Structure 1
Amino acid sequence: MAARRTEIVLEHTRTGEGPPLVLLHGIGGRRAMWDPIVPLLAPHREVITIDLPGFGASPLPEGQDLRAVGIARTVADFCASIGLERPHYGGNSLGGWLSLEIAKAGRAASVTGIAPAGLWRTRVPRYTKWQVVSLYDLPKLFGPLMDPVTRITPLRLAMTANVMGKPWRTPRSVLLEDSRAMLASEAFKLTMASASGQRFADGHDIDVPITIAFGTRDVILGPGCRYRGELPEHTRWLTPRGWGHMPMYDDPKGVAAVLLDGSSVSALAA
């Protein structure tokens, strides 16, 4: 008797009208990271924000492959199960890497990567790994002191300056909620371990529009994480001024504009 296939359910939010655009967060994140952008997209796109497996409110499925290719397959399968066979994808950091894997599998109408991970030549640089791990370790170290510490503006800005290009624009409440969600995520450490030695590769034959944007203030994914050799020649490369690694609060209008343009039918010809 064939084994029964377990249905994958990922927590998500759908809003707006127009061509479907799926937004994927980075490692340790949650779908709420897109909140500043969604109202700007919703008049033009049906926006679907998803909590990745083991992050946010989504459970970690038993036996989930936490390599980028495995998470990408789970996301694409889930999207198909809710009627999204080949939507546009926008992703930040890990979410950008997943979006590229989905496009490589022929299951995306376009990809817009906001500081996508995975574009290193061989292995993730040590400075990148150290900074990402510190995002988890600092809240864990401070514990209940996170609340009073983040009330001190210079300390709060220093804690987030490697993530946001303009950290003063991110509300303190969002920082605290993001930190709690990261510490509560089932998949953070497992996903970090699974990414070791992995990278995005063999994307030359992707035939849908691809836009890649690395901000001028992104210090987590520096020059060593922006290798162009595995992507097709038609890929558009942008360097938005003032954007950090997670620019949703740095420049909501700018991020929304890049996502809308990247998921437009004219993106490939631009």
Structure 2
Amino acid sequence: MYRKPKWSREGVNWPNRQFSRFIQVGDQKWHFQVMGAGPPILLLHGTGSSCHTWAGIAPLLAEHYTIYMPDLPGHGFTQTPPASGLSLVGMTRLVNDLLTALDVEPEAIIGHSAGAAVAVQLALAGYARPRAIVAINGAFQPFSGLAALLFPIAAHVLALNPVTIFAVSTGAKDRSRIERLMRSTGSNIPQSSLDRYGDLFTAPGHVAGMLAMMANWNLAPLLRQMFQLTPQLTLVIGARDKAVPPDRQANVAKHAPRVQVLELANLGHLAHEEDPAAVAAVVLPVLVAPKP
């Protein structure tokens, strides 16, 4: 078993620590944060991240809503489930189990990157009935061509290789590598965010969970089913996103019936960490829009 981040060690400096909670749901132990008052909103982070990604924008949203921010399975301080729980369908089912245990019916769901795919899958599976889904630089489309075949195989091999996992976590101790990795997404995030990614990536358990998720991820069925999506889908796209190209994000609009696209000219993949106020300014009007 790989060492996961520990609340008594990495968690000491965790953003919004006072709002953190832990809960056991069946075989799955979760870490999540709850903040604010008002209608419930669910926030889902992307691959390799945790609820810390919402540290800047959370207080802005919490002025109007009760926001729930879990560490997804295998990430951060949440337990890593078997491989079946790290697929898109499996992870969505686990998130639904958490919502059921908390007795939360989110009015809206905000997802970043792969978290946006989980948000849409929650709605398509009938687990949640949000009025709106907001995708911040959503990762909805699978790789194409040869990469579609090779990427899952490579991720699976890496996820099973302890040498790779420990090499990544050991290399992450050089914080300049973390900074270069984050900047490669097209974003320039605060030092506090960089430090938290450093804490995560130096824990082999977090790296193993991330790689296992990548190995088990399959987006093709989701894209085929998006025409059935009932909630309005808002695509918030950072024009400088180098992780999920803006044109691929915008292309998703033709797959869902009710889509609006909002572009942020000077932000990258981690737009909500770069400029929380700018992202909140475009997201909040979507959340408060009247029901159709």
Q: Which TM-score bucket, shorter chain as reference?
A: 0.7 to 0.9
> In 2 relative to 1, CA 179–41 (structure 1 residues): closer, same or farther, beyond 3 Å?
same
Spell out, residue by residue over 1:82-122, the C-alpha distance to the aligned partner (whole angstroms, 9 max, x if none): 01134421111110110011122231312111111123585
For residues 72-221 of structure 1, the aligned pairs below 5 Å read 72-106=92-126, 107-109=128-130, 110-120=132-142, 146-147=172-173, 150=176, 158-167=180-189, 171-180=193-202, 184-196=206-218, 198=220, 200-201=222-223, 202-221=225-244
Aligned pairs (5 A) from 1:249-268? 249-266=273-290
Residues 172 and 198, structure 2, Cα contact 8 Å, conserved in 1: yes
Counterpart of 2:277 in structure 1: which amino acid? K
Shift of 1:54: 1.1
TM-score w.r.t. length of structure 2:
0.74
Aligned to 1:27: 47
Between stretches 173-182 and 51-60, larger displacement belongs to 173-182
TM-aligned CA distance change 1:88 to 1:36, over 3 Å: same
The secondary structure found in structure 2 opposite 1:11 is strand
Q: What's the secondary structure of 1:236's corresponding residue?
A: strand
**CA offset at residue 63 of structure 1?**
5.9
Where does residue 256 of structure 2 map in the other structure? 231
Q: Cα–Cα, structure 1 residues 138 and 218, in superposed 2: closer, same or farther, change >3 Å?
A: farther
Query: Whole-Å Cα distance in 2 between the matches of residues 124 and 72 of structure 1?
Result: 27
CA distance in 1, matches of 2:123, 2:219: 21
Shift of 1:74: 1.4
Q: How many residues align?
A: 254
> Distance in 1 between the 2:115 and 2:83 partners?
20
Q: Cα deviation per residue 1:200-245 (whole Å; 9 max; x = unaligned)?
A: 221223222221112101011113454333211x211111112211
Matching of residue 14 in structure 1 with residue 34 in structure 2? yes
**SS state at 1:101 partner:** helix
Contact 2:201 2:207 in 1 (8 A): no
Contact 2:42–2:106 (Cα < 8 Å) also in 1 = no
Amino acid at match of 1:214: I
Alignment TM-score, normalising by the size of structure 1: 0.79
Matching of residue 57 in structure 1 with residue 77 in structure 2: yes
Q: Please list the CA deviations of residues 49-96 of structure 1 after superposition, one character each: whole Å capped at 9, or x if unmatched.
A: 101111111112346432212211211221121011344211111101
Relative to structure 1, is the Cα distance of residues 160 and 199 closer, same or farther in structure 2, using a 3 angstrom cutoff? farther
**Is the contact between residue 216 and residue 244 of structure 1 (CA under 8 Å) also seen in structure 2?**
yes
Structure (1/2) with the larger helix percentage: 2
Deviation at 1:11, TM superposition (A): 1.2
Give 1:147 deviation, angstroms. 5.0
What is the alpha-carbon distance in structure 2 between the residues aligned to residue 12 and residue 118 of structure 1? Answer: 24
Partner SS, residue 239 of structure 1: strand
Return the alpha-carbon distance in structure 2 between the equivalents of residues 174 and 78 of structure 1.
24
The reply on whether 1:241 has 2:265 as its aligned counterpart is yes
Moved more, 116-125 or 239-248: 116-125
Q: Deviations over 1:36-58 (max 9, x none)?
A: 11111111110111011111111
1:143 CA drift (Å): 5.7
The whole-number CA distance in structure 1 between the counterparts of 2:278 and 2:101 is 31
Kindly indicate whether the alpha-carbon contact (under 8 Å) linking 1:210 and 1:262 is maintained by their aligned counterparts in 2.
no
Report Cα offsets for 1:167-211 as digits up to 9, x if no partner. Answer: 467654234224335763442122111125745221223222221
Q: Which amino acid aligns with 1:13?
A: Q
Q: What is the alpha-carbon distance in structure 2 between the residues aligned to residue 9 and residue 143 of structure 1? A: 23
Relative to structure 1, is the Cα distance of residues 199 and 79 closer, same or farther in structure 2, using a 3 angstrom cutoff?
same
